[in-house]
């Protein structure tokens, strides 16, 4: 497979993108050419080696769960049931949650509280060598009271992380949508968009941050000048800053990296703004950034925003961490854009998303390899990206053990890729959410849909697990 690199003139064009001004169309030029490839032992075909550390009982359960989620009608029925009024009935709700807990929840989640999740992280590391990313599974909060409750859970996550050896844990994760009311995030995003369109528009509450827009960013969410934040909204925003500051401070004191998850574009400007503000405040160690922001490569503006933020961080001499993902909100993004008469902000084809991810990955790896103060988590379930990343690391001579580059996959998914990357010497982590079963339902529904169908994310794992089960049975 040909290697893919950004042309030098594309890097220059990204580096000179104006952070303000009307939207422009920048089409990345991809230069593909064949060249000798270093030998990188990323063999995902030998299931016996890949799953050698997995007990047969775990293989049986994982195979059954992934097979169930590949059956479209079953996924649709389960999703309908868990979203229906039947769940308002105590008997039905208790029965469904009990079934979910013993099957899908135990496969995709780490436990019901921080202590249980920490034990699962330790167990996974000791049996497989894979690290854990701990995250409290709540996703959204509608008011300040819920935000106060959630930040205590995120702080408990950091405290649980402190009980683990550093070799077992990669990071903890926080969701801004769980510590700042949703309506405030929407209002802040609207005001930031309006300021991007009108640079003279003043936001007195705005703190120092990096650019959160580029010429390709979707701005259709805000069509008229928003009202200023009310006194109450400003107070809630300040409280959200204090909540984020409290968890950042604990992570800094414990030397535990903090990843900030991404959301839909209607909220993402406010999330990026808060993520970069906290990076400026807390990323003082040149060798190990504390705060990581998330870049979603399925968005058309991802490459430009990444370059703008990184350029500003270098200008300010602020180390920064990035988690690179493809993205999980394609359907909702398309529906909202269509309802407003605009094209989706997501790339038009899956190949465009793959290209954007791989280009951003190569760019970040080059930056991390040359002594820049950045660290990168490459979160991918795509085997081609995993193989390309492994080759790129070999070409650049990247130290696989210094924590500047690591790979990550969701717990319960893409185990073959995780084990394969780990066998080649990379740090590999599993994103491990925890919390009460009912709060995990939206997360579990997304995982089920990602594994739905024969060509889904879980297809390779299902195939290899079945082969390994057959091999072990025949060997008895």
Question: Which one, of 104, 17, 18, 113, lies nearest residue 64 by Cα?
Answer: 104
Q: Which residues contact 327 (CB under 8 A, 6 or more apart)?
A: 262, 296, 297, 298, 299, 346, 353
Residue 81 falls within a domain, yes or no?
Answer: no
Residue 457 falls within a domain, yes or no?
Answer: no
Task: Over range 424-446, report the average pLDDT.
Answer: 91
Which of 78-92, 414-428, 442-456 is predicted least confidently?
Answer: 442-456
Residue 22 falls within a domain, yes or no?
Answer: no
The overall average pLDDT reported for the chain is 88
pLDDT in tens, 170-203: 999 999 999 999 999 999 999 999 999 999 999 9
Q: Which two tokens stand for residue 310?
A: 């990184």
Quick check: 406 pLDDT over 90?
Answer: yes
CATH of the domain at 206: 3.20.20.220
Q: What range does the domain containing 248 cover? A: 111-434
Residue 67 C-alpha from the chain's centroid:
24
In the chain, the percentage of residues whose pLDDT exceeds 70 is 90
Residue 256 per-residue DSSP state = -
Residue 448 falls within a domain, yes or no?
Answer: no
Which of 208-217, 252-261, 363-372, 379-388 is predicted least confidently?
Answer: 363-372
Residue 243 C-alpha from the chain's centroid:
21
Q: 296 by DSSP, 3-state: which?
A: strand
pLDDT in tens, 18-38: 444 444 444 343 333 343 344
pLDDT in tens, 147-165: 999 999 999 999 999 999 9
Q: Which two tokens stand for residue 228?
A: 């200023």
- More reliable by pLDDT, 453 or 107: 107
- How far apart are alpha carbons 29 and 26 in whole angstroms? 9
Which of 249-258, 275-284, 439-448 is predicted least confidently?
Answer: 439-448
pLDDT in tens, 285-314: 887 899 999 999 999 999 999 999 999 999
Contact 284, 251 (CB under 8 A): no
Residue 445 falls within a domain, yes or no?
Answer: no
Quick check: 391 pLDDT over 70?
Answer: yes
Residue 347 C-alpha from the chain's centroid:
18
Contact 382, 460 (CB under 8 A): no
Predicted pLDDT of residue 452: 66
Q: Which residues contact 196 (CB under 8 A, 6 or more apart)?
A: 20, 213, 217, 219
pLDDT in tens, 364-378: 999 998 877 899 999
Task: Provide the 10 A C-beta neighbour count for residue 360.
Answer: 22
Predicted pLDDT of residue 360: 98
Contact 410, 447 (CB under 8 A): yes
Predicted pLDDT of residue 456: 57
- Number of domains the chain is built from: 1
pLDDT in tens, 222-233: 999 999 999 999
Task: pLDDT band for 246, please (50, 70, 90 cuts).
Answer: very high
Residue 306 falls within a domain, yes or no?
Answer: yes
- pTM (2 d.p.): 0.88
Residue 340 falls within a domain, yes or no?
Answer: yes
Predicted pLDDT of residue 278: 98
């Amino acid at each position: 497979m040909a290697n893919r690199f950004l042309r030098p003139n594309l890097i220059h064009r990204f580096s000179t993108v104006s952070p303000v001004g009307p939207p422009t169309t920048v089409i990345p030029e991809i230069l593909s050419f064949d060249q000798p490839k270093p030998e990188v032992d990323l063999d995902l075909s030998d299931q016996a080696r890949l799953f050698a550390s997995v007990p047969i009982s775990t293989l049986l359960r994982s195979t059954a769960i992934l097979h169930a989620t590949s059956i479209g009608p079953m996924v649709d029925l389960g999703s309908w049931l868990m979203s229906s009024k039947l769940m308002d009935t105590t008997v039905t709700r208790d029965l469904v949650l009990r079934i979910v807990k013993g099957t899908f929840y135990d496969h995709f989640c780490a436990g019901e509280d921080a202590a249980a999740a920490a034990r699962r992280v330790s167990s996974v590391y000791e049996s497989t060598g894979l690290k854990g990313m701990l995250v409290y599974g709540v996703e959204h909060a509608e008011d300040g009271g819920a935000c106060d409750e959630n930040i205590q859970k995120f702080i408990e996550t950091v405290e649980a992380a402190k009980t683990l050896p550093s070799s077992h844990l990669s990071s903890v994760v926080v969701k801004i949508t769980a510590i700042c009311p949703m309506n405030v995030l929407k209002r802040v995003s609207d005001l930031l968009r309006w300021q991007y369109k009108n640079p003279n528009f003043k936001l007195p509450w705005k703190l120092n941050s990096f650019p959160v827009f580029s010429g390709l960013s979707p701005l259709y969410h805000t069509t008229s000048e928003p009202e200023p934040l009310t006194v109450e909204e400003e107070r809630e925003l300040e409280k959200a800053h204090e909540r984020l500051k409290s968890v950042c401070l604990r992570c800094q004191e414990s030397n535990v990296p903090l990843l900030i998850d991404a959301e839909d574009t209607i909220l993402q400007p406010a999330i990026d703004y808060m993520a970069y503000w906290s990076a400026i405040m807390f990323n003082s160690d040149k060798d190990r950034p504390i705060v990581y922001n998330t870049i979603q490569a399925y968005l058309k503006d991802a490459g430009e925003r990444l370059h703008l933020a990184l350029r500003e961080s270098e200008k300010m001499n602020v180390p920064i961490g990035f988690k690179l993902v493809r993205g999980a909100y394609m359907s909702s993004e398309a529906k909202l854009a269509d309802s407003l008469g605009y094209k989706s902000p997501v790339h038009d084809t899956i190949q465009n998303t793959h290209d954007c991810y791989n280009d951003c990955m190569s760019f970040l790896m080059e930056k991390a390899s040359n002594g820049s103060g950045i660290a990168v988590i490459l979160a991918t379930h795509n085997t081609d990206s995993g193989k390309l990343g492994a080759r790129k690391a070999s070409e650049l001579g990247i130290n696989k053990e210094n924590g500047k580059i690591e790979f990550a996959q969701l717990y319960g998914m893409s185990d073959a890729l995780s084990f394969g990357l780990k066998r080649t010497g990379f740090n590999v982590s599993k994103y491990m959410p925890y919390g009460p079963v009912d709060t995990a339902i939206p997360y579990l529904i997304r995982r089920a849909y990602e594994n739905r169908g024969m060509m889904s994310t879980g297809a390779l794992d299902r195939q290899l697990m079945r082969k390994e089960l057959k091999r072990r049975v025949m060997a008895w």
